[in-house]
Amino acid sequence: MKMKYLLTAICLTVVLQCAVVAQSPWKASDYKPEPYRKVMVLAKISDMSARQQLEDRTVKLLNDKGIAAMAAYSSIKPSRATSREAFLAIADSLRVDALVVYSVNGAEKQVQQTATLSVGVGVGMYGGFAGTSVPIAGGAKMVTFVKLTVDFFNRASKDEQWSMQLGGSLADGTDKLAYTLAKTTVKAMIKDKLFVLK
């Protein structure tokens, strides 16, 4: 029975470490989905590796849903897209009609509790027993929690058409967080009917 509770606690801890916190998305009241030629994904993240992971994961999940998408890091140098007009000129050449933008709002260190795994140690003879539990794993650790906003823009409007607040822990690395953020984002975008699906 104790083993069952222990396994449940460990599973819950693993699930919670991978979880992304997402607030309900906002969508413009007059938004109507269009058949976009291509959607570009841009992550405004200074760490190039983390940026590529988030853009690539989102692009793959969109492509898997039948939505043509591309990562911005492979096509646009930040120095070239200094204005809306400059970006639209680049977008025209790439056949891009919509843009998904991730922006980091901040990061903070938090204490995260992990499951404690204990081993029973005891001495006994002739029916008597004295024992205790010795912790061998788990406890508290410092993790970085990142807050982001993801916005959706299209060519028809200068303002965002859809937006959502996200947050997640870097406890398991940037790649795992990038996948979870991308999955949460694409799932919410599909649910809110931002695209004309084939």
pLDDT, tens digit (0-9, with 9 covering 90-100), for 91-115? 888 999 999 999 999 878 766 666 5
Quick: pLDDT tens for 130-171: 445 555 555 667 788 999 999 999 988 888 999 999 999 888
What confidence category does residue 118 fall into, taking pLDDT thresholds of 50, 70 and 90?
low
- For each of the domains in the chain, give its residue range(s) and CATH number, in order of start: 21-109+145-191 (3.40.50)
Strand runs labelled E in 95-127? 98-125
* pTM for this entry: 0.73
Q: Is 42 helix (H, G, I), strand (E, B) or coil?
A: strand
Q: Under a CB-based contact definition with an 8 Å cutoff, are residues 148 and 179 in contact?
A: no
Cβ atoms within 10 Å of 87's Cβ, excluding its own: 19
